[in-house]
């Protein structure tokens, strides 16, 4: 009887470990596929490079707000680099002026979230 319990316990433990391992592998594969997608940016001709800086009101956290806005800006066509500083409440975007402009960048920031949370102020180029 004792031997049967030990064998049954071992069999159940083995099944649990094997099934958890497969689920973990699937989750790990999903995470890797999501994080390895990197958008390639075309090189911008030196005469077309423009930098815009502006303040963003309405950000409440560095990871949720600032990083989301930064990613939205960085994923735009014609944007070479976008950085959002949560502490200073500012954004700096290096972009191709033949593809993007400050008005489009402002609209993207303000459309991030629910469309009413973020406000762009004091745009400089």
How is the chain split into domains, by residue range? 1-37, 46-124
Asked if residue 69 lies in contact with residue 86, where contact means CB atoms within 8 angstroms, the answer is no
Q: How confident is the model at residue 113 (pLDDT cuts 50, 70, 90)?
A: confident
Q: What is the CATH number of domain 46-124?
A: 3.30.70.100
DSSP assignments along 63-110, one per residue: IIIIHHHHHHHHTSTTEEEEEEETTTTEEEEEEETTT--HHHHHHHHH
**19-63 pLDDT, tens digit each:** 544 444 444 454 444 444 455 666 777 787 899 999 999 999 888
CA distance 48 to 64: 32
**65-105 pLDDT, tens digit each:** 899 999 999 999 999 999 999 999 999 999 998 988 988 99
Model's pTM, two decimal places? Answer: 0.64
CA distance 123 to 112: 17
Spatial neighbors of 121 by CB under 8 A, at least 6 apart, are 54, 55, 56, 57
Residue 119 pLDDT greater than 70, yes or no? yes
Q: Which helix (H) or strand (E) holds 41?
A: none
């Amino acid at each position: 009887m004792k031997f049967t319990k030990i064998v049954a316990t071992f069999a159940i433990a083995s099944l649990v470990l094997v099934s958890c391992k497969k689920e973990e592998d699937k989750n790990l594969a999903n995470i890797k596929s999501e994080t390895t997608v990197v958008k390639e940016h075309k090189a911008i001709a030196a005469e077309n490079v423009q930098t815009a800086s502006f303040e963003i009101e309405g950000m409440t956290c560095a990871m949720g707000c600032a990083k989301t806005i930064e990613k939205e800006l960085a994923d735009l066509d014609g944007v070479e680099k976008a950085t959002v500083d949560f502490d200073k409440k500012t954004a700096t975007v290096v972009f191709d002026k033949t593809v993007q402009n400050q008005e489009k960048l402002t609209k993207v920031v303000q459309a991030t979230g629910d469309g009413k949370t973020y406000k762009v102020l004091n745009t400089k180029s």
